[in-house]
A and B are shown apart, each in its own frame.
Chain A
Amino acid sequence: MIGRVGKALKYGDNINTDIISPPAYMELPIEEAAKYAMYPIDPDFAKRCNPGDIFVTENNCGSGSSRETAPLALRQLGIRTILAKSYARIFYRNCINLGILAIECKDTHEISADDKLQVDYEKGIIQNLTTGKSYVCDKIPPHIIELVSSGGLISYLKKKL
């Protein structure tokens, strides 16, 4: 397993749910709403996103609301992996439930925008293919990997039920 390879979309501390999913656009269907993800601080975010990109932030990622439209918007834009130094509780659970791998890594400040990353979540190692550095990240427990690779809680439940 070499893990996931993708380009870093990089932000700092406290990327809260109002930034990821601005309230003004929540009334739109998710395909439309996703175009405004990160709009308050980066209006071009959606345009720059490519499937497989890795969303990288620093402390307290996803703080604020319980709105699942935040991880849903990221998923809509093709993001399946998030790295952050720490997460807000509800956002973390929402990501996992939607099949997005949210991984804790204390060194995300060393990652820059557009760095190419290879995330081996089973071993807990991230290779920065652009700078040649490597970082340690939390190993993901097997039951979470199973959940995420089923595509999230619902698909997982369907398989189990």
Chain B
Amino acid sequence: MGMTMTEKILARASGKDYAKAGDILWIKVDQAMMDDILGPRVQISEQMELLGAKVWDSSKVTIISDHYTPPANARQAEIVKFTREWAMKNGIENYHEFEGPCHQVMVEKGRVAPGDVVVGTDSHTCMYGALGAFSTGIGSTEMVGVLATGEIWLKVPQTIRFQFEGKLSKGVMAKDVILRSIGIIGHHGATYKAIEFTGSTFDSMLMDERLCVTNMAVEAGAKNGIIAYDQITKQYLDSIGVKGGHIFTSDVDAEYCESYNLRAEEIEPLCACPHEVDNVTEIKNVQGRQIHQAYIGSCTGGRYNDLKLAAKLLKGHKVAKGVRLLVSPASREIWDRCAKEGILSDLSEAGAVVLASSCGACLGIHSGAIGAGEVCISSTNRNFIGRMGSKQGEVYLASPLSVAASAITGELTDPRQFL
């Protein structure tokens, strides 16, 4: 019986030639990532001390302060300070702050290579699967075990395969692909499982877009999301100077627990309605719902391509009166590139406010929380009740193009009318 990519990666990381879904393996971790909100401050620092443990290999640990940067108050500032000092005290040279959401920074800084096993104290760690790696979110206590030993036990997941064939229509983005997938299997359709995305639709999909797809695998409950290494992966990794890693692809006779075959042309611009990510419908079905805030940002929908397309759509238009369009580039690098190419000024001219690269608005902790009765359309990944601020607010998740189009009209809008 053949193996899936996920099985191959986990087999290798546990020193075996073969692994099968259901096996429980002790896995050597290639990279451990912590952020500020769930990093050293939650259990980790305290428990490491209690155990008298040391970080097993500081070169394999990355810490990124992103949720509380820039801090909105003294408490948040203290958390960033604590995180920074803990990193220093433990010899973690790969410490970053004010650089943007952790996942984008991890990828851009070249901390992930194909075939790696990466764990992080944040559920969207599953994003790195777009580079052909195995990556998953873990809790803080579990991170203590990883930091102390460099290992973690994992059950090899079964894999669900989503195969998309054909080309996406104009106005349809990777966000719509992943929302469609989650809409089909539901928000716990992939619990304990891997999701492998494959098919010709991905062959021409930019890395910026692929990362959006794997980022949201956890919104279907998945342990990891993964896309096979190919030319696009290679080009991307070359461009950021990542060498090494191991290339794995799924065998033709690999076993999948479920398979879905979809046509890309059939996907329309979608949105996830409040308050669940699998509450998915075509945006035209909710067209006309008035909005107060439009947000383009986060590790899901704030990359270069997202901002570029949004700026292009917005050019020559103005954000509707009574609506605030907030844009947070998903990293400093993206910020710089967009600044150099005039994308930020195009956005600003249309009426957008460009914010620091940060998690802030994505989880309503600063820079763009919403109030009671307010409706936000957002390119982020979660629309849970209270996620972006007031529990009486509403969040609709959609592609950056849909967010931009809605910002112009002041209501939920299918972006194709502007293209």
State the A residues within 8 Å of B (CB): 14, 16, 18-19, 22-24, 26-28, 39-41, 59-60, 63-69, 71-72, 86-90, 93-94, 97-98, 152-154, 157-158, 161
Contact = CB atoms under 8 A, between A and B. Distances in A.
B56 to A, nearest CB: 14
Interface of B: 37-38, 42-43, 47, 50-51, 68, 73, 75-76, 79, 120-123, 125, 137-142, 144-145, 148, 187-188, 191-192, 221, 223, 276, 363-365, 369, 382, 384-387, 389, 391
A41 to B, nearest CB: 7
B86 to A, nearest CB: 16
A19 B51 CA distance: 32
Contacts of A87: 191
Nearest to B50: A154
9 contacts: A19-B385, A27-B68, A40-B385, A63-B188, A67-B42, A68-B42, A86-B191, A90-B123, A94-B141
Interface centre among B75, B125, B385 (most CB of A within 10 A): B385
Contact of A64 (B38, B50, B123, B125): B123
Nearest to B186: A60
Contacts of A157: 51, 145, 148
Task: Specify the main secondary structure of chain A where it touches its partner.
Answer: loop
A71 B141 CA distance: 11
A75 to B, nearest CB: 11
Contacts of B187: 14, 60, 63
A23 B387 contact: yes
Contact of B384 (A16, A27, A66, A90): A16
B386 A22 contact: yes
Contacts, number: 120
Nearest to B388: A23
Contact of A41 (B50, B122, B123, B385): B385
Interface centre among A22, A27, A93 (most CB of B within 10 A): A27
A94 B137 CA distance: 11
A125 to B, nearest CB: 25
Task: Specify the main secondary structure of chain B where it touches its partner.
Answer: loop
Contacts of B43: 68, 72, 154
B122 A88 contact: no
B111 to A, nearest CB: 18
Contacts of A152: 141
A66 B121 contact: yes
A89 B145 contact: no
A18 B38 contact: no
Contacts of B73: 27
Contacts of B188: 59-60, 63, 86, 88
A121 B353 CA distance: 54
Given A40-B385, A63-B187, A89-B221, A28 B75 contact: yes
B139 A19 contact: no
A158 B73 CA distance: 37
Contact of B123 (A23, A65, A98, A158): A65
Given A23-B387, A27-B365, A59-B188, A158 B51 contact: yes
Contacts of B51: 154, 157-158, 161
B139 to A, nearest CB: 4
Contacts of B191: 60, 86-89
Nearest to B387: A18
Contacts of A88: 188, 191, 221
A22 B363 CA distance: 9
Contacts of B75: 27-28
B139 A24 contact: no
Which 9 A/B pairs are nearest by Cβ-Cβ distance?
A94-B139, A66-B137, A40-B391, A40-B386, A18-B384, A97-B141, A23-B363, A68-B139, A60-B188
